[in-house]
Structures are given as C-alpha cells and as structure tokens.
Structure 1
Amino acid sequence: MFAIRLHAFGPAEKLTLEEVDDPVPGPGQVRVAVAAAGVHLLDAALREGVRGPLPEPPALPTVPGREVAGVVDALGAGTDPHWLGRRVVAHLGFAPGGYAELAVTDAARLHDIPAGLDFAQAVTMIGTGRTALGILQFTELGPDSVVVIPAAAGGIGTLLTQYAVHSGATVIGLAGGPEKTARVKTYGAHLAVDYTDPAWPATVRARLGGRPATVVFDGVGGDIAREAVALLGPGGRHLVFGWSAEGIRDGRAHLVEGVSEQVLGPAMLGRAGGPDPLRTLELRALTEAAEGRLEPAVTRFPLAEAAAAHRALETRKTVGKVVLEP
C-alpha cells in the first residue's frame, strides 16, 4: 500500500509518500480500506516533535493520522464477521497509522457510518465533532445567549456556530479574511467579522448595541482571545479548548482568572457519561450530522499531498476539517 511516512521531525516537507507493506489485523482487530483520513493541528505539532498532550513524541519512522473512515476489508482472529464490508469510521486514539491506504484498529473503536454521510463527513465528526459536542456540555445556549466564536471557519468553529444558531443564540463568528467570513455567514452567524481588521472589537460592540457577550468559545488564544474576553459581561464564560495562535506547548491554555475554564481532557469526559465517554460523544456527533442538525465542513486533499495539507492548515488557509483522501 501507499502511506505517508515521517522519518525525522521537522517541517511539512518531512512527510513523504512511500510504498510499504500492507498492515495485518491482529486478534479483535479489523483492517480498513481508508477512504478519508482526518488531519489535525496536533498532527502538525507531533510532526515537529512536540509532545503536546501525549506522554512523548511518536517513535520514528511513523505513519501519522488518528482518524479514518472507509470499508472493512480484512478481519483479525476472533473479530465479529459482521464488520466485513461495512462502511465504518474510527478514531485510532494515540495510535498512528491513518495517513495510508489501509489502516488497522480494534473493532471496539468502530462505528457504522450513518446513511447520508460520506466518508469525509464521518471522519470529521468522529474527532472534531466529538470535541465540539464535548465543549457544548459546559454551557446551556438559548435566545438570551450572545456567543463569540474565534476561528469560526475552522472544523470545530463551524460546528459550534451551527449549534449556537440552532439554539436561538445571537452568534458572532470571527474568521481571517473575506472568504472565510463569507463562509461563516453561510452557517448562520448573525455577524461574521474579519479578525485581521484591528477594529473588529468595535464592530462587534456596535452591532450588539451595548449588549454583552455571554460565552466565548475559544480554540485560538493570543490577542484574539483577549479581545473576545473583553466583550464578556458579568457572569460571562470563556470556554478554552485550544490555543492555536500561541502554538501547542505543554497542554495548558492561558486562562483568565474568574472568567476562563479549560474544557478538554478529564473535564470533558467527566460530563459525557457512560462506560466509554469518548464513544458517547462520538455517537452523539455522528447522530447530529446524520439527522441534519450539524453539517460538517471539509477541505479535501489527496493523500499524496499531505505536506500541502499540513501547510494549509498551519497557515489558516482551510475551512472546516482537513481530510486526506487516498
């Protein structure tokens, strides 16, 4: 099979397409003929040798990628035969191997892809979607809510925007440049603002007419987040799930005392419930998309162009989830 391999940490050019042996599923595992592989900012950090939330950087050489969707084409010993030939999606956890034509994972990680979702949409919801649903556990949105979403054109941002709009909230979506703000508007944001314009906070205040924001969904950090937090009124909440403007460092976000709450990791899982909280969130995310309440936004690249996909993601030239298609 062909796969993207990383032999040395560094820039995106270190990702190379190579022919490697087909993986073989072990007991309780399946092999998936990959039709879509998710790309995440964490993948880019790991590519550079940054540990991020992992115990240590991946061992080299490696095939990056932790989210796949496709068709099961082989079974390991003892695996339920009903999986063979099924359209499935899975998050591989911290195990790499997604940027490839074939990937192996435990059958316990599989979900059937609901009718009406293509492979790229399904792979968007299995990781990015579950995170969005996890974040939304931390606040109740309704007609009295005024929501500010930095990076509203990103994978998580587009989903949060849609959910907030459906809840009846007033939604302010921030994005970089006119093309992205136009896309944010299509997802229902009441105001889509270009955060590269230094006057954007004044634009938001004028539109709100003195009404304060109640929630900031922040995956960006940095100056954009600080300006957004300044829009909050008394009792407002700053829900932090990333800090892309400042880079992934030690797994800790910059929190503003009295306002901010970091909502990833144990905090999120503790609210999801069930014997497997991540799986609970995955099922919720797939259901939201299948029933039409959330529409996954996708930017697609061929598998061979994984390096270009990483560069585009890192320079904020993408909309929605970045997906590789073998």
Structure 2
Amino acid sequence: MLHPVTLLDPDPDAGQVRVNVEVAAITFVDTLIRAGSPVAPPVTFPVILGNGVGGTVDQVGPDVDPTCIGTRVVTTTGGSCGYASLAIASTHDLHRVPDRLSLREATALLADGRTAVGLHQAASIESDETVVVTAAAGGVGSILVQLAKSSGARVIALAGSRTKLDHARALGADVTVNYRDADWPTRIQESAGDGVRVAFDGVGADTTNALFPLVRRGGRYLSHGAAGGSWGTIDENAAAARGVTLIGLSAIGATGMFDLTERALDLAAHGVIRPTVGQTFPLDQAADAHAAIEHRHTIGKTLLLP
C-alpha cells in the first residue's frame, strides 16, 4: 500500500544537499517493487520509493559551498526517498537544469534519458538502417524513437494503442505497429525492407520470442526492460550463429550514468530530443499514478508533484 505520512524534515550531512522537491519521478521499477516482481530489486518495507527528483537546493551540508542554495537541479537520491517534498542528495549526483528546460522536462530525463542515450550509443545506428522500438510511447521508447531518427534510421514503433502509436508517429516513427494485433510480427517483417538491423526491447517476455527472429544477420538486439513481467530469453548460441549481437543494460554502464544524464539534458536543451511528460499526479495520489502505469493508461513519463 502507498499512503502519505509526515516525517521530520531531513538535514544534509557532509557532501550532501537538501532539495525542495517540485517534481518526483516514477519509474516502472517502482510498480514492480510494490508487486513483488522477481525482476525488481529487493527492498525492506516500509520504504519511501523514488530515485529521482527535481527542485531547488534549499540547504547544504557543513562542507558544501552555500552559493549553490537556490540552484535548480535534478538528481538521483541513492535509490529511495524520492517520493517526498524534501529530499537529500549527494553533491556528486546533482545536475544543473539548463535554462531552456523546465524542471518537469529535466526530471523526466533523469532515468529515461540516460537509459535511452546509453542504449542509442551502444547500438551504433547507421543511416538508413531499420530500427524497431518497443513500448515506443513510453518514457525510454519515446526518446529512442527520436534518437534513432536523428541517426538517419527508419523507425518502426511498436505500442499497444492507437493513441500511443499516433504519439510515436508524431515523434518521427515511419511505421507504427500495434502489438495487440496477432499478426504484428508479420507486419514488422513486411515493413522492414531488407530486415531489422536494430531492436530495442523494453518489454521482454513473449515479445522477445517473436521479435528476436526478425533481426537479420549482423543486427543488434538490445534488451533493456521487462515491462511484460519477465526478461526475454535469447539463446546466445543461436544469436551467434546468426551473427546477431546481444547488448544488455550493462553495456551502457561503462559510459557512466552521470555523464549519460548530462548528455540527455544537453540534447534536450538543444532540441534534438524532447521528453514526453504524459501525466502528472499530486504526491499524495502516488497510488493512482502507479495504477495508471500498471494498466497501461500512460504515455511517456509519469511525474508526481509534491
């Protein structure tokens, strides 16, 4: 159960600041934690969920330069305690928000932006390659559509409703396919021309079983999520035999999550990508926000407003 509580205001220690939170990010992982999913990280309850916030620094630790008070920042919070009106963060995790971006836009890029940018870099997309993006209207997927187009790719967007497919097309997708249609693999195959070169799979489960065979020799398959309830399973020997390179989330860690977030913020500030803030909820309605995500009623990023 999610319910609001009132706690004492936290004070930052050495190397920390306190953020007056204006926007708190929700990730799909938060809903998996509540559901007890085997793909979610283990936690001890009770817990304050949330690992990303945007706001203004209002207090600093004893060794932190006080001139940063009043600065607009987005930051991770060490894995928890993001669903709050005040949050503690390490100075090493702070990102100054570019003037061209709102706090909502910047917060939407914290987790989804760095993931999408890292995956895009790892995929090494070339001009005119055909790229499939699953969950193409989601937080990560919507950014991947834009990044793939910026590389000159032909993008096939996969999503589960007409509204979501229309949104993916508005972001630049060349072809849209509804995965609720039984023949969706055939439609992708028919639309792929000389074959799928790159597949971004944030869904896993049965989607992986149907999508992986569509990737042609020399292609890349990037698994980055389990929105379908479990990670997809791919036979590494079968992939090697077909010359398909398998790329997981571990491949983007080498770049450094902080640098990837900085890159995402910079790309957004220069108009290369724009995050989709699909819906917002008051902080005390976090449970309603989770329900909307779980029932696939959301587009892009869902944010909480303390």
TM-score of the pair, normalised by structure 1: 0.87
Output the CA distance in 2 between the equivalents of 1:110 and 1:200.
42
Q: Using a 3 Å threshold, how does the CA distance of structure 1 residues 225 and 50 change in structure 2: closer, same or farther?
A: closer
Output the CA distance in 2 between the equivalents of 1:126 and 1:220.
20
Are 2:297 and 1:282 aligned? no
Output the CA distance in 2 between the equivalents of 1:68 and 1:263.
26
Are 2:111 and 1:127 aligned? yes
Please provide the CA RMSD for this pair. 1.7
1:266-304 CA deviation, whole Å, 9 max, x = no partner? x3222x1xxxx1211111111111111010011322212
Are 2:233 and 1:254 aligned? yes
One-letter identity of the residue aligned with 1:86:
T
- SS of the residue corresponding to residue 188 of structure 2 reads helix
With 33-42 and 19-28 compared, the bigger mean Cα shift is at 19-28
Equivalent residue, structure 2, for 1:193: 177
One-letter identity of the residue aligned with 1:16:
H
Contact 2:206 2:232 in 1 (8 A): no
- SS of the residue corresponding to residue 17 of structure 1 reads coil
One-letter identity of the residue aligned with 1:85:
G
- SS of the residue corresponding to residue 174 of structure 1 reads strand
Equivalent residue, structure 1, for 2:293: 313
Contact 1:148 1:228 in 2 (8 A): no
Output the CA distance in 2 between the equivalents of 1:59 and 1:139.
36
Output the CA distance in 2 between the equivalents of 1:15 and 1:187.
34
Are 2:93 and 1:113 aligned? no
Equivalent residue, structure 2, for 1:87: 72
Output the CA distance in 2 between the equivalents of 1:41 and 1:178.
21
Equivalent residue, structure 1, for 2:194: 211
Give ranges in structure 1 of 5+ residues lacking alignment: 1-13
Equivalent residue, structure 1, for 2:270: 291
Contact 1:33 1:101 in 2 (8 A): yes
Equivalent residue, structure 1, for 2:32: 45
Equivalent residue, structure 1, for 2:52: 67
Per-residue deviation, 1:180: 0.6
Equivalent residue, structure 2, for 1:76: 61
One-letter identity of the residue aligned with 1:88:
V
Output the CA distance in 2 between the equivalents of 1:62 and 1:216.
35
Q: Using a 3 Å threshold, how does the CA distance of structure 1 residues 23 and 177 change in structure 2: closer, same or farther?
A: same
Contact 2:32 2:40 in 1 (8 A): no
Output the CA distance in 2 between the equivalents of 1:204 and 1:28.
50
One-letter identity of the residue aligned with 2:273:
L
Are 2:1 and 1:22 aligned? no
Equivalent residue, structure 2, for 1:6: none
Q: Using a 3 Å threshold, how does the CA distance of structure 1 residues 177 and 101 change in structure 2: closer, same or farther?
A: same
TM-score of the pair, normalised by structure 2: 0.92
Q: Using a 3 Å threshold, how does the CA distance of structure 1 residues 51 and 206 change in structure 2: closer, same or farther?
A: closer
Q: What count of residue pairs does the alignment treat as equivalent?
A: 299
Per-residue deviation, 1:253: 4.8
Equivalent residue for 2:223, pick from 235, 240, 244: 240
Output the CA distance in 1 between the equivalents of 2:40 and 2:260.
19
1:113-135 CA deviation, whole Å, 9 max, x = no partner? 00121112111212111111111
Output the CA distance in 1 between the equivalents of 2:233 and 2:191.
28
Contact 1:255 1:262 in 2 (8 A): no
Equivalent residue for 1:230, pick from 213, 217, 223: 213
Output the CA distance in 2 between the equivalents of 1:126 and 1:158.
14
Equivalent residue, structure 2, for 1:165: 149
Output the CA distance in 1 between the equivalents of 2:175 and 2:111.
27
Equivalent residue, structure 2, for 1:32: 19
1:177-233 CA deviation, whole Å, 9 max, x = no partner? 11111111100000111111112222233333x421101001111222222222222
